Amino acid sequence: MTAESLTGLDISLDQVDPEIFQILREEQERQESSIVLIPSENYAPLSVLEASASVLANKYAEGYGDNRYYNGCRNACKVESIAIERACSLFGAEHANVQPHAGAQANLAIYYALLEQGDRVLAMNLDHGGHLTHGQKINYSGRWYEIGAYGVDPDTGRIDMDAVESLALEFQPRMIIAGASAYPRTVDFERFRSIADQVGAYLLADISHIAGLIAAEVHPSPVPFADVVTSTTHKTLRGPRGAVILCKKELARRIDRAVFPGIQSGPLMHVIAAKAVAFLEAATERFRTTQKQTVANATHLAHALIEHGFDLVSGGTDNHLMLVDLNRSGRTGAEAADLLEESGIVVNKNPIPFDTRSPRITSGIRPGTPAVTSRGMGAADMRQIAQWMHSALSPASSPDLRLEIREEIRTHCQKFPVYGPLPDSKFR
């Protein structure tokens, strides 16, 4: 620590807190040297990390536009209006709210804005790919609202839209949620709209997973069809951790008031600055190319896994992720995820449709390609990853074999540096 500093404000992290600094370095090393296949994770560009570590973190700016509860909001206001403009232009939306702290809060704001407690909501079953905030009993959404769940067809692994329609007609929901955390196929937002219209329901599209694909036009957009669209900003969209809400003009005031003062107070202005950067980046040709490659890589990985004998729910993928059904391999999702991590491949265990195991064990894993594609990997790498996954999970897998794979992966990852070499006193 420098003797001259009286307040401590000007001392860098490595000097103030070597313990946390060291852990952050180790985390960076882990991210650089592993094959990250968790489809909800990505590497945020350095520009996004810089904005989110900026001095705007110091600013309180409750409110919207020029109407703030605190003084000194000049720069915060500018940043937020740029973020809003960019979000609207990127997705072709009429209105955007960039304040939700995370995807769960964005969804909570929609329930709060559009529904009364006890209203009916039709959403995708968590076991079939839905999200916790889409009506799980252990979540506010499942406790405060009456939930009807649709799922996938047991034979095709795809959402049966005729079944969704029948369910909606019978259940008469006030809101229908389209969107998922673990669905490998294209979502038919247009059909969801026509079903919602038949029963007079709001349509919420939660595009948290596929927002980057939609921005790059490699997945159809729900914006023309849904009343409201929610999305996290940190998955395929490659922004900071956080969320955005898009909606039609006529719902703008209700949505804004639901976010603040409804469910949140001070916005995270540094994160909003980083969202603005991410929206700018997502409008570039290089981002579009990466998203196309993310989908192409998922197809390559899916084919290669099938060739190695893995079963994929629905037989493949249209987007950035796939669901591997491990039942025939005799391994559980939890066991497979641990063996893969030991080998240098990070995936998450995941329930598969009609899973008989608990969510802590599961019968599946959910590999995805956003992070490996962001670091520049392509088709040949996907085939190599499938080969490593096959070996690590095969009956012949042993600690020695997994160590061997770990070292091969460490060497392979060096060819695809995420952020490049670091100056001594910085982490990224």
The reply on whether position 136 binds ligand PLP by CB under 6 A is no
CA 227 to chain centre: 21
Kindly name the residue from 68, 193, 235, 238 that is annotated as catalytic.
Answer: 235
Evaluate whether 309 touches 353 at the Cβ level (below 8 Å). no
Kindly name the residue from 25, 186, 191, 241 that is annotated as catalytic.
Answer: 241
One character per residue 187-206, x = contact with ligand PLP (rule: CB under 6 A)? -------------------x
Residues 221-240 within binding reach of ligand PLP (CB under 6 A): 232
- Helix, strand, coil percent values for the chain (each to nearest 5): 50, 10, 40
Cβ 33 to ligand PLP shortest distance, Å: 25
**Residue 309: burial class (beta carbons within 10 Å; 0-12, 13-18, 19+):** exposed
Question: Of 24-32, 99-107, 319-327, 358-366, which segment contacts ligand PLP by CB under 6 A?
Answer: 99-107
The reply on whether position 125 binds ligand PLP by CB under 6 A is no
Cα separation, 310 vs 317, in Å, equals: 14
Whose Cβ is closer to ligand PLP: residue 45's or residue 239's?
239
Whose Cβ is closer to ligand PLP: residue 132's or residue 252's?
132
Cα separation, 160 vs 191, in Å, equals: 11
Which single residue is written with the structure tokens 């669901």? Answer: 323
Active site (annotated) includes residue 241: yes
- Give the Cβ contact number of residue 421 at 10 Å: 5
Residues 242-261 within binding reach of ligand PLP (CB under 6 A): 243
Kindly name the residue from 41, 60, 311, 426 that is annotated as catalytic.
Answer: 60
**Residue 204: burial class (beta carbons within 10 Å; 0-12, 13-18, 19+):** buried
Evaluate whether 295 touches 319 at the Cβ level (below 8 Å). yes
DSSP H/E element including 296? helix 285-307
Q: How many residues bind ligand PLP (CB under 6 A)?
A: 15
Active site (annotated) includes residue 137: no
Active site (annotated) includes residue 299: no
Q: Of 31, 52, 97, 181, which lies in the binding site for ligand PLP, with binding defined by CB under 6 A?
A: 181
Q: Of 82, 84, 93, 102, which lies in the binding site for ligand PLP, with binding defined by CB under 6 A?
A: 102
Active site (annotated) includes residue 62: yes
Q: Of 157, 179, 364, 368, which lies in the binding site for ligand PLP, with binding defined by CB under 6 A?
A: 179
Tell me which long-range contacts 163-172 makes (C-beta under 8 A, separation of at least 24). 164/122, 164/191, 164/192, 164/195, 165/195, 165/198, 167/122, 168/122, 168/195, 168/196, 168/198, 168/199, 168/201, 169/198, 169/199, 171/120, 171/122, 172/120, 172/199
The reply on whether position 209 binds ligand PLP by CB under 6 A is yes
Residues that bind ligand PLP (CB under 6 A): 40, 102-104, 107, 131, 133, 179-181, 206, 208-209, 232, 243
The residues carrying an active-site annotation are 60, 62, 206, 232, 235, 241
